[in-house]
Amino acid sequence: MRVNVFLLAVIVFFPMLGAAASYLTGRKDKALRDRVVGIVSLAEFAFLVILLLGVGRQKGVMDIPGVCGMGLHFATDGFRAVYGTIAAFMWMMTSVFSAEYFAHYRNRNRYYLFWLVTLGATEGIFFSADLYTTFVFFEVMSFASYVWVAQDEKEASLRAASTYLAVAVIGGLVMLMGLFLLYHQAGTLVIDDLYEACRGKNVYPAAACMFFGFAAKAGAFPLHIWLPKAHPVAPAPASALLSGILTKTGIFGILVISCKILLHDAKWGTFVLVIGTLTMVAGAVLALFSVDLKRTLACSSVSQIGFILVGVGMQGLLAEENALAVRGSLLHMVNHSLFKLVLFMVAGVVFMNVHKLNLNEIRGFGRHKPLLMAVYLMGALGIGGIPLFSGYVSKTLIHESIVEYTEAVENGALAPFVLGAGDMKIIEWLFLISGGLTVAYMCKLFFAVFVEKNEDPAVQKTYDSLNGHYMNPASTVALVVPAALFPLFGLLPHFTMDKIADMGQGFLGLAEETHSVAYFSFANLKGGLTSIAIGVLIYVLVVRTWMLKKEGGGSVYVNRWPQLLDIEELIYRPVLLTILPAVCGFFCMLLDRSVDFLAKILPLAGSVEAGFFDTISDSVIVFLRRTVYKDSPQPHELEEGNGLTHVLGRLVNKVVALLNLTFWRSHPNKKDYEHRFALAYESFKENTGIIGRSLSYGLILFCIGLCGTLIYLLVGLFR
């Protein structure tokens, strides 16, 4: 017990201390800094292996009372130990690869500082014993990893980073609302106590709010927008971690809701299943259309998260008979983490040699590079669910859980909540088609990078000249070691993957021993083979015909996805940056006009406005512009009004002129309504712009507040 408690403290806080050490070292010696980072990540992995080997014999808990009021609480069990070890393994491998990848990057000191802080925060999430601790480290992780996306500080990177930060902030705030609701209902946030505390209570509103926050980080539809934007601009080692492990912190939170709060709840299971199906299909379609290497892998991550959520949803629908769903979703979490570690590092090898990611520009890079091709194939065959590779095992378990539920409903052994046997057959086919899409887009990447020649012979000659010199031995080890696990796990599933599932299934509510699955029986192979056949057809009939365009005697890959269907640009940014500020600006204008009206009809109101309202409103406006709204100067004076204000103003002026000649002859109205309408429009536009520009500043303020919380946390820890 004491050993585990000590290890828990080291696992969570050692990387953060290492972050400070690496930063201070890097200010004096960059090479020594790289060695410090490598030693910290290697030591962290060693600590997790020790914990993993001992977790079957004893469990440990660690409490730090008084921090942020409620204290921090940590615990370990099989699932936490498994995922903590995977996280540490991924950080260790990417640290080895990063030494070569970042050789010519700026701001490496800053990157490694936040890289190690994020490691500690991620371990803090996986080992958290209550949701308050989960939330604290979740926010630390989100803000620390923001620096990864914005690393090169280019316009595209900063825009993607702002999207990532906005999703993180909004998701965190909604999650916090859910925690308030849950604590009010249950009286506790301790994860192991939640099931009994929530029984018989309506916790769906709290669960929905928490799901929003966790799903935003996991990349579930429709909150997936940050993945396709962040990954193409983030460094490849960061992309591997963002996709492979940070998304799993979101899945961890969803598992807490599904397996600790609403265990075996058919309503909740149906909801998660529907979200998972949408995510699975949407991500696969986006990946198929993409012509950017890392964007394709990012959209693939969305789809694979959908596969996992389908498994989580099936856990709720199958209730006590959910062993296949529990083990399948757990193992696909593990598999996806490792797949994206390898695939994003392969993309990193391509980028650090040619500094390009478009398939037409990197076409032919992998020709005559058998080692890189083999590493990519290990990841591609694994994520495609090809038999004898690890992804086949986890996808088969999830697929068979769908089949099991369908047969149980058809036989009358299980009463459906909403989804009947026919509905589940549709979901099963969407599952198989999504698997086929995975095969298709991984084939697209393989043939583009490793088989086809570049359209420019000079470029192809340059690529061929890199043979044997495209990555150093350390990077080779970082790619080959995790890639070798995929055929090992796939060939020996009972000795590898079943053991991992045995360790982690208790956290997901499955305590009993399960029967051995005949993974390579025809009944189980049928689903995987169906997906492969669908994938081959899609690649031949869609990719090779519709997505390739003849050009200049050759062919080029074309992105056929309509830009109009970009959810971020179509919905989120207009709502957050235009519609909401416009509504606020409209009400501000109404308030201003109301005060003007009162001033004209009531002399007393006029004096009140002059002496009180002007002072108060001006003070508030100045305060908001200098703080929350932080207005920025306009580059030039805008033209007064627009076409509509000019037309309406002239029309009103003519009507008023006519009235002045008739009814208002003794008291003519001499106002210029064209000018007044233009001023009203400019006021409205200015208010809208102020509030729109203020949103990003508000996010920065929130970040500052959270950093203050972190400082308070650390001060309380070492007091």
Per-residue pLDDT of 254-284, as tens digits, reads 999 999 998 888 899 999 999 999 999 999 9
C-beta separation of 274 from 306 below 8 A? no
Asked if pLDDT for residue 567 goes beyond 60, the answer is: yes
What is the average per-residue pLDDT within 157-175?
Answer: 84
Q: What is the pLDDT of residue 333?
A: 93
Asked if pLDDT for residue 587 goes beyond 70, the answer is: no
List residues bridging with 130 in a β-sheet. Answer: 190
C-beta separation of 228 from 563 below 8 A? no
Q: What is the pLDDT of residues 514-565, one digit of tens each?
A: 777 888 888 888 888 999 999 999 999 998 888 888 877 778 888 887 665 6
List residues bridging with 74 in a β-sheet. Answer: 62, 128
Q: What is the pLDDT of residue 83?
A: 92
Q: What is the pLDDT of residue 482?
A: 93
Q: How confident is the model at residue 712 (pLDDT cuts 50, 70, 90)?
A: very low
Q: How confident is the model at residue 701 (pLDDT cuts 50, 70, 90)?
A: very low
Low-confidence winner among 294-303, 322-331, 606-615 (lowest mean pLDDT): 606-615
Q: How far is Cα 259 from Cα 319, in angstroms, rounded to an integer?
A: 10
Amino acid at 58: Q
Q: What is the pLDDT of residue 586?
A: 58
What is the average per-residue pLDDT within 108-113?
Answer: 86
The overall average pLDDT reported for the chain is 81
The torsion of the CA quartet 631, 632, 633, 634, rounded to 10 degrees, works out to -100
Q: What is the pLDDT of residue 591?
A: 57
Q: What is the pLDDT of residue 565?
A: 61
Three-state secondary structure call for residue 502: helix
Q: What is the pLDDT of residue 265?
A: 87
Asked if pLDDT for residue 588 goes beyond 60, the answer is: no
Q: What is the pLDDT of residue 557?
A: 87
What is the average per-residue pLDDT within 402-415?
Answer: 84
- CA-closest candidate to residue 439, choices 392, 493, 394, 371: 392
Q: What is the pLDDT of residue 608?
A: 42
What is the average per-residue pLDDT within 19-42?
Answer: 87
Asked if pLDDT for residue 695 goes beyond 50, the answer is: no
Buried-exposed string 259-285: b where 16+ CB fall within 10 A, e elsewhere: bbbbbbbbebbbbbbbbbbbbbbbbbb
Q: How far is Cα 612 from Cα 599, in angstroms, rounded to an integer?
A: 12
Q: Which residue has the higher pLDDT, 378 or 584?
A: 378
Q: What is the pLDDT of residues 277-308, one digit of tens each?
A: 999 999 999 999 988 899 999 899 999 999 99
Q: How many residues appear in the chain?
A: 719
Q: What is the pLDDT of residue 590?
A: 61
Asked if pLDDT for residue 715 goes beyond 60, the answer is: no
Q: How far is Cα 125 from Cα 134, in angstroms, rounded to an integer?
A: 5
Q: What is the pLDDT of residues 66-83, one digit of tens each?
A: 777 778 888 888 888 999
- CA-closest candidate to residue 174, choices 128, 220, 205: 205
Low-confidence winner among 59-63, 462-466, 487-491 (lowest mean pLDDT): 59-63
Q: Which residue has the higher pLDDT, 621 or 481?
A: 481
The three state secondary structure string of 21-69 is: HHHHHHCCCHHHHHHHHHHHHHHHHHHHHHHHHHCCCCCCEEEECCCCC
Low-confidence winner among 138-142, 167-171, 603-607, 641-645 (lowest mean pLDDT): 603-607
- What distance lies between CA 661 and its chain's CA centroid? 67
Cα distances from 654 to residues 6, 668, 681, in angstroms, run 84, 13, 20
What is the average per-residue pLDDT within 86-108?
Answer: 87
For CA atoms 569, 571, 577, 582, the dihedral sign is: positive
C-beta separation of 214 from 257 below 8 A? yes
Burial of residue 643 (CB within 10 Å: 0-12, 13-18, 19+) is exposed
Cα distances from 653 to residues 153, 548, 600, 649, 656, in angstroms, run 52, 59, 21, 6, 5
Q: What is the DSSP string of 379-423?
A: HHHHHTT-TTSHHHHHHHHHHHHHHHHHHHHHTTSS--SS--HHH
Q: What is the pLDDT of residue 530?
A: 92
Low-confidence winner among 68-77, 310-319, 324-333, 432-441 (lowest mean pLDDT): 68-77
Asked if pLDDT for residue 344 goes beyond 80, the answer is: yes
Q: How confident is the model at residue 1 (pLDDT cuts 50, 70, 90)?
A: very low
List residues bridging with 556 in a β-sheet. Answer: 549
Amino acid at 582: A
Q: What is the pLDDT of residues 640-684, one digit of tens each?
A: 666 667 777 778 887 877 777 776 677 777 778 777 777 776 666
What is the average per-residue pLDDT within 197-214?
Answer: 89
Q: How far is Cα 212 from Cα 217, in angstroms, rounded to an integer?
A: 9
What is the average per-residue pLDDT within 379-394?
Answer: 92
Q: What is the pLDDT of residues 414-458, one digit of tens each?
A: 777 777 888 889 999 999 999 999 999 999 999 999 988 888 888
| Residue corresponding to tokens 């970009």 | 566
Asked if pLDDT for residue 606 goes beyond 80, the answer is: no
Contacts of 170 (CB under 8 A, 6+ apart): 216
Q: How far is Cα 254 from Cα 322, in angstroms, rounded to an integer?
A: 17
C-beta separation of 337 from 314 below 8 A? no
Q: What angle do helix axes 673-718 and 580-601 make, rounded to 10 degrees?
A: 120
Phi, psi of 130 (to 5 degrees): -140, 160
